[in-house]
Amino acid sequence: MIKVDVNCDLGESFGPWKMGRDEKIIPLVSSANIACGFHGGDPLVMRRTVALVKKHGVAAGAHPGFPDLAGFGRRPMGLSPEEVKAAVQYQIGALDGFCRAAGIPLMHVKPHGALYNMAAQDMDLARAIAEAVKEINPRLILLVPAGSRMAAAAAETGLAAAREVFADRAYEEDGALSPRSKPGSVITGEDEVLNRVVGMIKTGKVRAITGKEISVTADSVCIHGDGEGALVFAQKLNGVFAREGISVVPLSQICGA
């Protein structure tokens, strides 16, 4: 049976502002990327999300981003590699504290939004993130785009890396995600998204936004928890996986952490 992890960005509410339906989605995924207070989340939300993850036996991961609540971490920022490293360590440390208090391990790290996209292309930023993760815990798994600078930095620093694909995002021919500002970058047709995910897992191929078929590696599939239909999609995805002989497992069973 083919094995794949399903990860979702969660815990992104803060103060009186609520995003997503975390309590419903968490039981449907194997890995939770929990916001650490910079692009979303706050201490109380982080604590509650860790409790939900523990309750449902889902792997906890840190989801560090740029310090940009107003822009939800999706706007590029000109932080130096040193600043990025410090910001990532600060956020991982905060979530790790909540995990320790709850008696569960922190399993992985996945950068968020603009930080993720920039580090995928910029080796200096990628190294800063990889070094930040390794210095805190060299057993943490780093979620990365296949063939990216982050994947190279993880290999360079000796970190385990899980290569992820995105269910609802279009790709450029070089394997990068199409910018959200580009028409067609977010795929909304449910059947199309489901078919793309199964194809990426089973064939290692996907059609880029230009129409060209490109290679991808799917250790993990990302579901965006802030999407309108995220809950329904997660339910349908699990049903499709069951029919296609695809088993959903945590990253530790894929990366051997």
Provide the mean pLDDT of the chain. 93
- Confidence at residue 233, expressed as pLDDT on a 0 to 100 scale: 85
pLDDT interval class at 166 (50, 70, 90): confident
Mapped onto helix, strand or coil, the DSSP state of residue 92 is helix
Q: pTM value?
A: 0.93
Within 13 A of 6's CA, how many CA atoms are on the CB side?
A: 24
Question: What does residue 169 show for φ and ψ, rounded to 5 degrees?
Answer: -120, 145
Q: Give 54-97 pLDDT, tens digit per residue.
A: 999 999 999 999 999 999 999 999 999 999 999 999 999 999 99
Contact 66, 79 (CB under 8 A): yes
Q: How far is CA 100 from CA 52, 58, 68, 107, 140, in A?
A: 14, 15, 26, 12, 14
Question: What does residue 86 show for φ and ψ, rounded to 5 degrees?
Answer: -65, -40
Average the pLDDT over 189-195 and give the result. 87
Contact 208, 214 (CB under 8 A): yes
**Among 1, 2, 7, 3, CA closest to 144:** 7
Residue 202 φ/ψ region, left for φ over 0, alpha for ψ in the -120 to 50 degree band, beta for the rest: alpha
Q: Give 197-255 pLDDT, tens digit per residue.
A: 999 999 999 999 999 999 999 999 998 766 667 788 889 999 999 999 999 999 999 98
CA distance linking residue 202 with residue 248, whole number of Å: 14
C-alpha angle 121/81/109, rounded to 5°?
A: 70
- Confidence at residue 163, expressed as pLDDT on a 0 to 100 scale: 95
pLDDT interval class at 29 (50, 70, 90): very high
- Confidence at residue 191, expressed as pLDDT on a 0 to 100 scale: 86
> Which fold, 2-167+218-223+241-255?
TIM Barrel (3.20.20)
pLDDT interval class at 177 (50, 70, 90): confident
Residues 6+ apart with CB under 8 A from 233: 167, 168, 190, 193, 223, 227
CA distance linking residue 104 with residue 126, whole number of Å: 27
- Confidence at residue 169, expressed as pLDDT on a 0 to 100 scale: 87
Average the pLDDT over 166-190 and give the result. 85
CA distance linking residue 253 with residue 147, whole number of Å: 21
* Percent over 70 (pLDDT), the chain: 98
DSSP state letters, 18-35: --S-HHHHGGG-SEEEEE
CA distance linking residue 245 with residue 74, whole number of Å: 35
Contact 244, 202 (CB under 8 A): yes
Structure tokens at 129: 């993130």
- Confidence at residue 3, expressed as pLDDT on a 0 to 100 scale: 94
Q: Give 119-157 pLDDT, tens digit per residue.
A: 999 999 999 999 999 999 999 999 999 889 999 999 999
Residue 171 has pLDDT above 70, yes or no: yes
- Where do the domains of the chain lie? 2-167+218-223+241-255
